[in-house]
Amino acid sequence: MSNKCRRTKGLFNNSNSEEFITNLVKEIAATYDDEKGINHIDGNNLPNEYEVINIINHVMELIFPGYSEKKIYSKSLLVYNAGEITANLYVELYHQITRAMLYDLNEDCSQCELEEQALQSCQKVLSKLPKIREMMKADVIAAFDGDPAAKSLDEIILSYPGIKAIAIQRFAHELYHENIPFIPRMFTEYAHRLTGIDIHPGAHLGSGIFIDHGTGVVIGETARLGDNVKIYQGVTLGALSFPKDSCGKIIKGAKRHPTIENNVTIYSGATVLGNIVIGSGAIIGGNVWITDSVEPKAKITISSPELTIKTANKL
């Protein structure tokens, strides 16, 4: 008998293991029992992370055909490839939307009505795919024009995290507009995990957006970006304070993030907070902290770099 077997056997023969596990399971189960809190039992209707990631991969394959999957594409067979992915995506997305909608199910709405609504939302969102493809072309070209290290459009699609985060957010944004619970945020959090770029599905992105490096970028729910906006790593487009109701409770959904007009560049580490407007063509320097609106074409930088320099002689 191998050493490993002996020990595993011993684990249950010569110890209190069975008793320990039995008691622990009872204790854990008891914490599941009290209230809803953080369980999800008897519900069986939450979207499943594994399935949602599958859907994201299918969406990405339709947007960037031939890049991620192992399948060989040829123009003549293209319609079959795209067709198979689209048909699968249709069924998968419909099921996850139905699960998500069941969660919020209103007593007055029958299961049939809900399924009809889920189907309509599913079709509405998928019908945006050709438009999203056009948007992504502009994003890829913006990255190529904006980065001296970029060697080709294909390299950008294969290896630029900003492109991945933006593509996933553009699709999630359509789901968000259909008021589907859970799934839009699961989409963008998956993008966040892959890229370090955290764009809320509610944010509106114009055309030709370039996010370089991207780690640490945060773009809030009610932010609006115009066309040809460039953003570097560590930039936050956040809320300054949260509007509260008369009871002091935070009002969900109120406009509280910046509007960034066309052709704005925001350098690394800048923080832009509140429901303000950064005028078209403005340049926001690195590490700048802004809570007031900025005129079009203005250039904001940190004044004198307030540094203390001790040279070797004075050390």
Dist. CA 83–CA 62, nearest whole Å? 10
- Min dist CB 202 to a copy of itself, Å, is 7
- Min dist CB 301 to a copy of itself, Å, is 5
Whichever of 108 and 310 has its CB closer to a copy of itself, that residue is: 310
Which residue, among 206, 230, 208, 235, has the nearest Cα to 219 in the 3D structure?
Answer: 235
Backbone φ/ψ region at 214: left (φ over 0), alpha (ψ -120 to 50), beta:
left
Instruction: Please report, as a single letter, which amino acid is at residue 8.
Output: T
Neighbouring C-alpha atoms within 13 Å toward the C-beta of 23: 5
Dist. CA 147–CA 176, nearest whole Å? 31
- Min dist CB 264 to a copy of itself, Å, is 13
Whichever of 139 and 259 has its CB closer to a copy of itself, that residue is: 139
Which residue, among 231, 298, 303, has the nearest Cα to 268 in the 3D structure?
Answer: 231
Dist. CA 220–CA 168, nearest whole Å? 15
Whichever of 184 and 259 has its CB closer to a copy of itself, that residue is: 184
Whichever of 206 and 274 has its CB closer to a copy of itself, that residue is: 274
Dist. CA 257–CA 238, nearest whole Å? 5
Whichever of 227 and 255 has its CB closer to a copy of itself, that residue is: 255
The CA-to-CA distance between both ends of the chain, in Å, stands at: 67
- Min dist CB 231 to a copy of itself, Å, is 13
Contact partners, residue 283, CB within 8 Å, separation at least 6: 264, 265, 267, 298, 299, 300
Whichever of 105 and 194 has its CB closer to a copy of itself, that residue is: 194
- Name the maximum alpha-carbon separation found in the chain: 81
- Min dist CB 132 to a copy of itself, Å, is 10
Whichever of 46 and 109 has its CB closer to a copy of itself, that residue is: 46
Element (H, E) at 286: none
- Min dist CB 72 to a copy of itself, Å, is 5
- Min dist CB 108 to a copy of itself, Å, is 20
